[in-house]
Structure formats: structure tokens, C-alpha cells
A and B are shown apart, each in its own frame.
Chain A
Amino acid sequence: MSDADKLSMFNWVYTEKVKEHFTDPKNILENPEYSEDGKGMVGSMACGDQMLVLIKVGDDDRITDIKWRTYGCASAIASTSVMSEMVKGMKLEEAYLLTPQQITKELGGLPEHKFHCSVLGDKALRAAIDDYLERQGRENPFQHRIAKVVCECKGVTDQQIEQLVKEDRASTLEQLQEETGLGTVCGKCKESAEHLLHDFLHIYGK
């Protein structure tokens, strides 16, 4: 987050862009009869965030419409809202590869402990695309290209870890943390990240 974004948060809790999408969220699902082509739901009420994303897909594999519902805080609502605006008109492939960082960037930044809100947004979208392709009986051609988020707080993916291993920049969890900040906020991912790190070290004979 830039200094300007941080400063703008003194005026409100989050950036002006988050405020805009929180006070006037776009593309909320209002019609109970809405007939979607694909549907995805992620998160849980118990965790404090839950997102439902419905998409309509045109003949040329473009997302023609998107509707959503979110149970969650201001940044969760704003993340889903801004994501819905970003992907409307997008090709499925591009939408599937949308990253939490892109969503966060569009919002002008989110505080560190709120990053997982944007992670949920893109997860829900991907779940909806998966569902669409399944309903169509089509293979998912994008799945293998998608980076899996390992650390939700800092948005570190398996592909990033793989890259760092390949480049000899990380061979221990501590180095990985120094490079990416992984596991330095809530720490929940440290164990799985270490496993992954060892797998990659093994694969690349490091």
C-alpha cells in the first residue's frame, strides 16, 4: 500500500475506493429468480466471511453478468463488489487467473489483516467458473495454471514459493518468510508452507 493510500485511511478506516464500494456496492444479487450459468460459494459464517458469486457466460466465453452476496466486513463487501465490476465482460480465462493482489490493488490497498477478504473474492469467482464448466461438461483448461494461495494474510502462492526455490532464494522457512512475509501475520499457514517448501526443494534437487 502506498503512503498516499495509508494517509487516506486516516480519513476513514479504509481507502476511499473501499468506502465507495462499501456504501454503494455494485451487482448485488437481489432477484431470487436469477438464473445463473455458474455458481460458487466460499468461506463460512463461523469464520466471519462468506461469499456467493453467480455468473452468466456468453457464447464467446465472456462473463456477461455477475451477481453476488457477501456476509462480512467492509473490506469483504468492497472486495466482492470491485471484483464483480472488474470481471464483467472478461474472458473466462482472464477471470480465472485474477489474483487477490489485483483486487486489492483496485481497492487502493487493504490493511494487512484484511488481505484474506480479497482472497475469498477471487476464490468464489473461480468456484463459479468451475461450476459453469462442469455444468457444460467441459474440462477446465485453466486449473493447472492457477496459483494456489498458501498464505492468505500476505497472499503468497505456491508458484511464488516454487520460483524462490528454483532461484535458490529460499531453502528454509525463515528465508521464505524474509522473502515474502509468509506466515508472519496469523501464522496458520506455516506448517503447510514448510511442507510445500520441502517438496519443491526435493523436486528441484536443492
Chain B
Amino acid sequence: MNNSVYLDNNATTPVDPAVARRVSESLDLYGNPSSMHTPGRQANRAIESARGEVAALIHARQSDEVIFTGCGSESNNAVLNVLFSPKLRQSGRKRFITTVIEHPSIYELDGMLESRGIEVVRIPVDGSGLIDLEAYRKALNEDTALISVMAANNEIGTIQDIPEISRRAREVGALVHTDAVQAAGKMSVDVQTWDVDYLSLSAHKIYAPKGIGALYIRGGVPFTPFLLGGHQEQGRRAGTYNTTGILAMGEAARLAREQLDEESRRIRTLRDMLQEGIRERIERIRINGSIEHRVPGTLNVSFLGAEGESILLYLDMEGISVSTGSACATGSLDPSYVLMELGIGAELAHGSIRFSLGRFTTEDDITCVLEKLPPIIQRLRRMSTL
């Protein structure tokens, strides 16, 4: 059976048909966008137009404040490289403030940063995944070089108060980065009202193919190229332009911007329908993350007495795709660190399932899950020791 109910849009999204058409068209634009001849200039023009679409999605003032990267992780890594830019080195600032629930492309770099003389401070979150603003204020000092806080979390969908976080950072003159990979296309992302210096994006989370991301770098802020040996992206990222990926991302950004309001309303309604349906049908559950400050398509639920990987695999047999924060699915013996930071305990973390809805989720999909899920939970609980 093909997986017909796809509820793992936070992991990746299917390619929108309009984006797929753009991918197909892009293959004719074979010229190297850096070349002066006609095919090169044609490709270059298409790339600059796509850049404009991505800039418009995040309300950047200038489209050249956006560079294209290989993925969201590269964008995040590239921002951390800023800590070693001559400008910041000269300033003597060496504190980097981040949170305990960031994506691994930020989270797992602390050892490397510390070995190179950076002082990493991780701000804890409360039970709903919102960062402790008081601890954050206390951590900020004149030694702080950079702040990195994700706009929306991939596992629980919790949205942070980025404007407030930026405002505080400005008081001490620190630079601000936000990982908006899970926010873009799901909520309004505005680099101006958020007042951020760097912002990471990924195309495959907004209905474009994998292998392309973007990074917003506010004009005038320090940046040290991460990939070296080429003049591309105005010297900010070497390597021949990925024409196909960039055009796909541009089209995806255009669709995301145009459909944002209507789409997020529709997806929110479906998500709430799923949430209430599960609440009505299944006892002993817990909704993880903030209910109020949450992106529209994410629903993270823990089922007591049923283990996440087993739930995932039984759902998969019914053609329903979801993800879990259980240890068994992470390949280690520890459950998701994001869920553990909420303080829900290992038991509930092992029984967590993330449903993430998207552009192509229908009411029928939700009805199907509400029909198939309760017997699966019941069955697992019956064979469980609890």
C-alpha cells in the first residue's frame, strides 16, 4: 500500500506541482549563471528573479541580502562561522547565546565553538517550549556576540517571541540569528519587524525539492564566507549556482507568500480537528508544546503506555506517515532532547507522535487518522506492561 496520508510535513514536504513545472523549465537554462554570454545571462536573470521571491517572503529590504545555500543546516552553520569573523574577533565579544531546543545544526556545534574560544550559553525552555526570557535577559551582557533562537520548533511547533528576543539583544549590541526553517510558509516571517541580522530557510520544507536553502544576511553585518574559492553570491558563498534548486525555491517562496493566510487558516482548522478528535477518542494523552504559540500544522501528542516507534510502524501499515520522538526511532537509547527539555519525562517522550500537516492535507486524511489511530493505541496498550 502506498502511503496515502502524509502527515510528516515538518520532516519534508512533497513538491508542489507548480514548483515541479519550474524545475522542469529550469533544465533548459543550462548556461552557467556566472557566464557573460546569452545562456549564462538568461540563467542569471531567472536566479535573480527567484532571489527576489525569497526576499519578498521574508520581507527583506534588498534581494541581495539573500544568498542561496545547500540546505538549512548549511545556513545555520554559516551563521555560526560569523563568530570567527575578523570584525567580531576585534570586538573581543565571545559569548554565543542559544537555546536547548535548537536544530542539531546549531545544537551540536557547541563543542566545536568552545574549542575555538567561544563561550556557549544555552537558555532553557518551559513546559510549553517557550524560552525562559528571564534567564535570557540575565545571560545577555556586553560580551555577547551573537544570539541564535529558532522561530518555530520542528518537533513541537512552538513559536518564540523573536521581536522581543531581538529587542533585548540590541540593548547589549549583539547580533541576532533566527532559524526560520520551520516558520517560513507557516506564519508571517518578517526580518524587519523581527529585527534580525541573519535568518535561515530551507526549500524542501516549503514544497520545493531537497538540496537548496537560503540565508538572509542583513546589509552591512559581519559575514565570513563558509564555502571558499569563488566569487558567487557576491563572494559570500562559493560554488556554481544551483539553477534548478534556486528556481524551485523561488517559485515555492512565491506560492508560500501568496497562499500564506488562506493556507494557514485551513491547516490550523484541520490540525485542531485532529487534536480534538484524538482527545475525544483516546484517554491518557498529552499534547506537547505550546497550544497558543504554535505553528498551524504541528500536533505533537504523547500516548501513555504505547511506544512511539510501534505506533509509527502500525500507522505506516495503514498508509499513514508520521514521526516520533521515541529513542527507538532516533537510533540511540535516548528519546528526543526537545521533548526531554519540556520536562515531560522519558516515559511520555517515548510515546510521542508528531503529526505535521501541510498544503496537501485534506479533511479525509484527518478522518482516516481518527479512524485508524484509536485501535492501534488500544492494541499497543493491551500488550503493554503498563
Contact = CB atoms under 8 A, between A and B. Distances in A.
Interface of A: 13, 22-23, 25, 28, 30, 41, 45-52, 69-77, 113-114, 116, 186
B333 interface: yes
A53 B383 CA distance: 12
Contacts of A47: 327, 333, 346
Contact of A23 (B317, B350, B382): B317
Nearest to B304: A45
A147 to B, nearest CB: 22
B313 A22 contact: yes
A83 to B, nearest CB: 14
Interface string B301-329: 00001111110010001000000001111
A9 B355 CA distance: 25
Given A48-B335, A116-B333, A74 B327 contact: no
A23 B305 CA distance: 18
A46 to B, nearest CB: 4
12 contacts: A13-B313, A45-B347, A45-B385, A47-B346, A50-B384, A52-B385, A71-B305, A72-B310, A73-B308, A73-B309, A75-B328, A76-B328
A20 to B, nearest CB: 12
Contacts of B335: 48
Contacts of A116: 333
B92 interface: no
Contacts of A113: 331-333
B221 interface: no
Given A73-B307, A186-B333, A30 B382 contact: yes
A71 B313 contact: no
Contacts of A76: 307, 328
Nearest to B346: A46
A21 B187 CA distance: 44
B230 interface: no
Max chain B C-beta neighbours (<10 A), residue from A28, A48, A72, A75: A48
B345 A71 contact: no
Contacts of B329: 73
B307 A186 contact: no
Contacts of A28: 382-383
Nearest to A30: B382
A74 B347 contact: no
Nearest to A81: B383
B386 interface: yes
Nearest to A80: B383
A77 B310 contact: yes
Given A25-B383, A52-B385, A73 B326 contact: yes
B313 A70 contact: no
Given A70-B385, A73-B329, A186-B333, 18 more contacts: A22-B310, A23-B317, A25-B383, A28-B383, A45-B386, A46-B345, A47-B333, A48-B307, A69-B383, A71-B384, A71-B385, A73-B308, A73-B309, A73-B328, A76-B307, A77-B383, A113-B332, A116-B333
A108 B383 CA distance: 23
A71 B333 contact: no
B374 to A, nearest CB: 18
Contacts of B350: 45, 48
A52 to B, nearest CB: 5
A192 B345 CA distance: 27
A114 B313 CA distance: 15
Contacts of A73: 307-310, 326, 328-329
A126 B346 CA distance: 26
Nearest to A29: B383
Interface in B278-314: 305-310, 313
Contact of A51 (B308, B310, B385): B385
Closest 10 CB pairs of A and B: A73-B328, A73-B309, A46-B346, A71-B384, A48-B350, A50-B385, A45-B347, A48-B327, A52-B385, A71-B385
Contact of B346 (A13, A48, A77): A48
B327 A186 contact: no
Contact of A70 (B317, B332, B384): B384
A28 B307 CA distance: 16
B313 A74 contact: yes
A51 B308 CA distance: 16
Contacts of A72: 307, 310, 328
Contacts of A74: 309-310, 313, 328
Contacts of A75: 328
A163 B306 CA distance: 41
Among A22, A41, A46, A75, the one with the most B-chain Cβ atoms within 10 Å of its Cβ is A46
A26 to B, nearest CB: 11
B383 A70 contact: yes
Nearest to B327: A48
Contacts of A48: 307, 326-328, 333, 335, 346, 350
Given A48-B335, A74-B309, A116-B333, A41 B346 contact: no
A23 B386 CA distance: 20
